[in-house]
Structure 1
Amino acid sequence: MQASYSFRLLFILPWYTAFALCSKLLSGGTIVAFDRASGLFNVIRNGSLLVEEGRITSVSENPLPADIPEGVEVVDCTEKIITPGFVDTHRHGWQTVYKTLGSNTTLAEYTARYSASVALSLFTPDDVYISQLTGIYEAQAAGVTTILDHAHHTWTKEHASAGWRASVDSGARIFFAYTLQNTRTDFQIPQQMEHWKELAASSPANLSTLSLSYDDFTDGAAAITQSVVKLAKDSNVPVFTCHQVEGPWLSGNTPEDIYSAGLLNSSIPVVISHAAFLTARGAQLLRSTNQYMSTTPESEMHYGHGHPSNHLVLDQAALGVDTHFTFSTDILTQARIWLQSVRERLYGEIVIDRWQIPDSNPMSVNQAFLLATRNGGLALGREDIGVIEVDAVADLVVWDGRSPALLGWTDPIAAVILHASVGDIEHVLVNGEFVKRDKKLVVEGYAQVQDRFLSAARRIQAKLKAIPLPPQVGEFSAGSSYGAVQQVDVLRGSGTGYGPSYV
């Protein structure tokens, strides 16, 4: 069954996968290059960068260098901004078919209604495939060029394989973190580990990379946990990821838990998603082991995870999207929301708590841009991702500097972080090849992808809408009690304006 996914959808693959990589010169743009000496940026105006064999081989202050190799395609980027592609360090791609169903959901409702623990009956392997594939294309259109996908649709071999094949077939740069979990009695972690080994042994030479995820580190000495750690170490997995949502959620997987299991202090990059209620000890462990958390600002605000301490550990942080069926699919939005929420929080300590006037702005656009690009690469253990410099991968976004939103810009980083939208993205390149050009996805047969996706989405959404919403009373599964939330009013009299969900 597994082989059918790739053969059935060969006609929708990006056209460039069948050919050798084409050299390109992006000419005349303003380049947000990386300055390794300072750890910040070197803005080059009216410059150029040369892309060969999927990598950046030259960054020049001359729009048309004299030594351009023969046969290079020159791409005019005059009055445009060239940045590295965005890095998303936490996403669940298989959930794309749920689009707009969770607009007012809480984390407790998500757990009982949309999470991997309850979704198996809704999805065929084909559904997983097309949902994952369509979600990846959506992300690339938004300038996301690298994704760490926490793939917890591993209910059966067929479902797990479908998400992996979709990632491979997309031609995208995906770190596919196969989740080891006991959601079924007939396909548990030992069987999943054997399946992971089978997939790893037959992985194609492709931008997608098979990784691992696991969410039960609370007892680090448990035999099953130690077997997972052993698999990760023996296989030297590219990345390992897990969720941490502490506080009243009591999910575990803290840096302390992962350290005690013997994984945090290994050479394997570990990404802890959300890191909600991170402690000072946990923060120190992240720093001492040089491991990273993935902050997903819109998700954590939407669901009510709580992230009271994440702003204190941004030196070991990157950004993620999480459940993109519920809100934005792009890292730009996450960077902007996080920047302004940190500013608001730290301003409040001066203005509200002390009645003083702020003497500076607490966080800069440069820092937000680093979180969205360079720090994402570091979280994945890749110095060559999320930066523009010689020998970095050619994952690039070209912004239309004459769009209504950007017209008149002078600081390219401020223009992107505070003024741009995904509608201003003109081109996106992954590994030196266009995946979006002239504001359109470069996917042959994309209309057929849309049709297949809509068919799956309508069927799955209809099934889900027929299931009553789970009551949120008494105690949550972790043991914490539910509490009444104050809802704001925007209408006087008989209604609050909260209204129904129009699904």
Structure 2
Amino acid sequence: MRFTAIATAASGVGVALSSSILLSGGTIIAFDEEARALDVIRGGSLLVTDDRIAALYETGKPKDLPADTEIVDCTHKIISPGFVDSHRHGWQTAMRTMASNTTLPDYLMRYVGPAAAAIYTAEDVYIGQLVGLLEALNAGVTTTLDHAHHTWTKGHSQAGLDASIDSGARVYWNHNFAGMGDYGIPDQIADFREWVTTRATADSLTTIAAAYDSWTVAPPEDTRAVVDVIKELKIPVLTTHWMGGVWGLDNSPALLHSLDILNTSTAVVFSHAVALDPIAADLLTATNQFISITPESEMHYGHSHFNSHMVQDQAALGIDTHFTFSTDMLTQARMWLQRVRSRLFDEVITRWKVPSNNPMSANQAFLMATRQGALSLRRPDLGVIKVGAKADLVVFDGRTPGMLGWADPVAAVMLHANVGDIVHVIVDGQFKKRGGKLTFEKYDDVVDRFLASAEKLQRLVGEKPAPVLEGKWFGRDAEYGHADEVDVIRGPGTGYGGLFLDTSDKSRHGPEYASVRGDGKDEL
């Protein structure tokens, strides 16, 4: 199987009409580093030179600009730092709407690991990863930590890396080390070393990083080899799923600390952190490591997040399995804000008292979706608007129906904006979305390739029977339990229903996609 990477000079680099851009006359959500707080500049301007924020002005018409400056009118618009997604699996885009009611066991048995490896070609991984990252850019996500667990072969792995580079997004592509048949940890490490030494460049928007989940289940020599290569190559970011409790997968800060990996230059991001307790929280603070809270995922799958709100100064937000639910950070931040408020309000009300204050502000949610994500990567130059920071920016139209009448720009973005309100997205000083449209020049070709891949993969998954979830969870101590189902229709019908899926050979997107073979062996 051969896949075609989109690597032309124009494809993923965005549009840079000049070396300096002035976003003029907008309301800027800046960050005051000294006060460690947001700072709003109304009717101001922001100068981008090359890849950096060169200046902030309190006027819409500053003087003495560089001669080649392109002026972009941002009157009635809100200029925000780009959003940072600290946990996503981009390659899974093709499965959208297939798993709207799924459980975590069902997800693990049908959509990842060996089940996915059996039907995904390298082309499928490439085009899914690319479309997923373009989708993120469209939603104002300028930086993505991608937990790349599509690393079943060298070809699949490299496809995801190539797509990340071609997307033009700022991506931490975290190669997931996991023994898969003939492609064991030693081979993966050899390939990983090759990519780090030959593909990583100082000016690349894609950073090659690491992911590992098998701390307690892999042979000790494999774990030691992974730790050694991370240290040897000074890998900037490591991520791991940390569940605990009934779920198992006890990849805790204490465990990683015992392997001498928390007190290094490598940033470690613990996704979900279901088993968070005061000891773990203290260890995160002492070593300046972060958890990634993925609110909608953790509610959808039943992970829960009992104590995550207690350590928000060492926490960021993420999206996770974006094919299953919302894909934008606006929604995740909004969900988390109201989830925390509800939880803390309940604590007051159960004491038979009336809450006299709101326990979490829109400002804090905004910071979690921007600056906190950047700090989880140890990148204080991302997720903020300040002089010298990277020019990763999102511009919202303040005159759309849902935004009209705003007074507080942070509240407008956090509580009222949607992806359709995003006019411009700039990454590293280059437009990735302009005038409401992505600047990716081969986007129509990408759509065609993606739809062909998605129809094939969805048909193959739809043909498989759902797993029977009985007995014990993956052979662990915890047994499966049945959750009460709520009804919305009176009488014998419940309204629950099934999924409205069409897995026939007839294309849902036009006849040009109907000829794709369903055996996973396509030459696209």
The TM-score bracket by the shorter chain reads over 0.9
Query: Which residue pairs with 1:196 in the alignment?
Result: 192
CA distance in 2, matches of 1:121, 1:221: 24
Query: Which residue pairs with 2:294 in the alignment?
Result: 296
Q: Note if 1:122 corresponds to 2:119.
A: yes
CA deviation after TM superposition for structure 1 residue 366, in Å? 0.6
Cα distance change, pair 219–451 in 1 and its aligned pair in 2 (3 A): closer
The 5 Å alignment of 1:176-255 reads: 176-182=173-179, 184-205=180-201, 206-218=204-216, 222-255=220-253
CA deviation after TM superposition for structure 1 residue 478, in Å? 4.7
CA distance in 1, matches of 2:496, 2:303: 21
The amino acid across from 1:222 in the alignment is P
The match for 1:438 among 431, 435, 438 is: 435
- Contact residue 291 and residue 316 of structure 1 kept, 8 A: yes
- Contact residue 151 and residue 175 of structure 2 kept, 8 A: yes
Spell out, residue by residue over 1:379-416, the C-alpha distance to the aligned partner (whole angstroms, 9 max, x if none): 00101000000110000000000011110101000000
- Contact residue 220 and residue 261 of structure 1 kept, 8 A: no
- Contact residue 112 and residue 470 of structure 1 kept, 8 A: yes
- Contact residue 11 and residue 445 of structure 1 kept, 8 A: no
Cα distance change, pair 132–226 in 1 and its aligned pair in 2 (3 A): same
- Contact residue 130 and residue 164 of structure 2 kept, 8 A: yes
Spell out, residue by residue over 1:202-232, the C-alpha distance to the aligned partner (whole angstroms, 9 max, x if none): 1153100100000022379922212211111
Cα distance change, pair 338–490 in 1 and its aligned pair in 2 (3 A): same
RMSD of equivalent CA atoms: 1.6
Unmatched runs of 5 consecutive residues or more in structure 2 = 502-524
The amino acid across from 2:248 in the alignment is L
Query: Which residue pairs with 1:268 in the alignment?
Result: 266
Query: Which residue pairs with 2:326 in the alignment?
Result: 328
CA deviation after TM superposition for structure 1 residue 15, in Å? 5.4
CA distance in 2, matches of 1:12, 1:344: 47
CA distance in 1, matches of 2:215, 2:295: 24
The match for 1:357 among 354, 357, 367 is: 354
Cα distance change, pair 291–221 in 1 and its aligned pair in 2 (3 A): farther
The 5 Å alignment of 1:37-116 reads: 37-116=34-113
CA deviation after TM superposition for structure 1 residue 9, in Å? 5.2
Q: Which runs of 4+ in 1 moved over 4 A?
A: none
The amino acid across from 1:196 in the alignment is F
SS in structure 1 opposite 2:29? strand
TM-score between both structures, scaled by the size of structure 2: 0.93
SS in structure 1 opposite 2:375? helix
CA deviation after TM superposition for structure 1 residue 116, in Å? 2.7
The amino acid across from 2:450 in the alignment is F
CA distance in 2, matches of 1:55, 1:224: 41
CA distance in 2, matches of 1:390, 1:379: 21
For these two proteins, the number of residue pairs brought into alignment is 498
Query: Which residue pairs with 2:151 in the alignment?
Result: 154
Cα distance change, pair 478–355 in 1 and its aligned pair in 2 (3 A): farther
Unmatched runs of 5 consecutive residues or more in structure 1 = none
Q: Quote the sequence identity (%).
A: 51
The amino acid across from 2:205 in the alignment is L
- Contact residue 103 and residue 326 of structure 1 kept, 8 A: yes
SS in structure 2 opposite 1:477? helix
CA distance in 2, matches of 1:12, 1:432: 15
SS in structure 1 opposite 2:359? coil
The amino acid across from 1:415 in the alignment is A
Q: Note if 1:5 corresponds to 2:36.
A: no
CA distance in 1, matches of 2:13, 2:224: 43
